[in-house]
Amino acid sequence: MNKKLMALAVAGAIAAPASVAMAQSSNVQIGGSVTMLYYVHDPKGSASGRKGDILEGSEPEMFIRGEEKLGGGLSAWFQCASSFDLWGAAADGFCSRNSGLGFKGSFGNVFAGNWDQPQKLVYNQARGAFSGTNALYGGTANLLFGGSASGVDTPAGNALNPVVTDANAGRFYRRQARTWNYHSPSWNGFGVKGSFSAAQASTGLIASPLKPRLWGLAGEYRSGPLYVGLGYEQHEDFNPSNAPIGNVAGAYNGGTDTNFSLVGVYTFGGNIRLSGVYSKSEYDVTNGTSMDVDGFAIYVDWKVQGPHTVRVQYGQTDDTAGNATRNVGVYRAPTAANNALGTAGDVFGVNYEYAFSKRTAGLIGYNKISNDGAATFSLGKSGASRGTDQTALGIAIKHRF
């Protein structure tokens, strides 16, 4: 009898964790998306690349997310989204895309993680099905925000090299690592989002006076076919031009860089979506010099009939302004010589998409980025020489699972 009781106890001990795991797994989801691009890229006149065909993915990801109801309307949740590139070795690691851990309820959503910043989330409402940066049907983020930075910390040097330098320092299209985030619920269509970088690089900067920090804030309003959003992002002590630090001429002794993005979206009759964004960035380049960058983009999505959709995008950045003599990433300094040639650029793209189902679609696209005489904006596959154009023509296949 004792042997039977012992056997039942052992069986129960083994079965209990399994049943708990099954109960928890009912709240766990696995999904993602895969996009394949195949196109001919032509960097006309570039000294760093030649015409050729490219096969690659665009923002492929696999996510695992889960949620536990804690009672009283409160839930704990997590998400781990990773790159899922089927055509080559992905540079991103595990949980390198939007990933976090937090609590949500009637008060909103509070979480820590590696996440798209409020300014980027507002801009994403405008671009819709277009990409921010891919060569075939993106590029407006390259012009308006200096390109993308994904899964990055605040810029940092070290004790031996106290200069804060980072190739991503001037970019405002960001997925920032190690951030605290708050996303509010909808209050009669209104909502807010906020974020700040929680891993300050000053902990590793013994000799530097700089204390890099990122702040983000967005306000949104949504009602039926209308969406309006305003995004703001602030970088403290990011040193966007990678200037030397110290008490010498042209040094960087700390500053603040900001971006404002105003977005509007309206859908007419359920089949024509018109959206736009205006962006203004201001950089403290060195002690006493600064640079201003203004630009806009317009997007049109037309669901012609059934599975057929035509999309058009146009984006433009104006000539840089200010008194800076150093470049900030892709933005050329507004010197007399550069101003004489022009530092502006624009991108134009058009594509046709056919929906095979709700989850699978095919696309044919054309994209072109053009530069004024001193500008060097690119589609991201090879560097652009001053005043040259780059084009991409090809196909894409999209699938969500």
Q: Which domains does the chain have, with CATH numbers?
A: 32-400 (2.40.160.10)
- pLDDT at position 18: 44
Tell me 221's DSSP state.
Answer: E
Whether 31 has a pLDDT exceeding 70, the answer reads: yes
pLDDT higher than 50, residue 189: yes
Q: Band the pLDDT of 86: cuts 50, 70, 90.
A: confident
Q: Please write the tens of the pLDDT for every residue from 358-379.
A: 999 999 999 999 999 999 999 9
CA–CA distances in Å: residue 231 to residues 31, 131, 218: 29, 18, 4
* pLDDT, mean of residues 164-169: 78
Q: Give which of 250, 309, 376 is closest to 129, Cα–Cα.
A: 309
List, for residues 320-346, the tens digit of each pLDDT value.
Answer: 999 999 999 999 999 999 999 999 999
DSSP E strands, 251-288: 256-268, 272-286
Rounded to whole angstroms, the Cα distance separating 104 from 112 reads 12
d(C-alpha 66, C-alpha 30), whole Å: 9
N- to C-terminal Cα separation, the chain: 52
pLDDT digits (tens, 9 = 90+) for 137-152: 999 999 999 999 998 8
Q: Could you tell me how far CA 58 lies from the centroid of its own chain? A: 13
Which has the higher per-residue pLDDT, 204 or 83? 83
**Mean pLDDT within 79-96:** 78
What backbone phi and psi angles, to 5 degrees, belong to 165? -130, 140
What value, to the nearest 5°, has the Cα angle with vertex 271 and ends 128 and 350?
Answer: 50
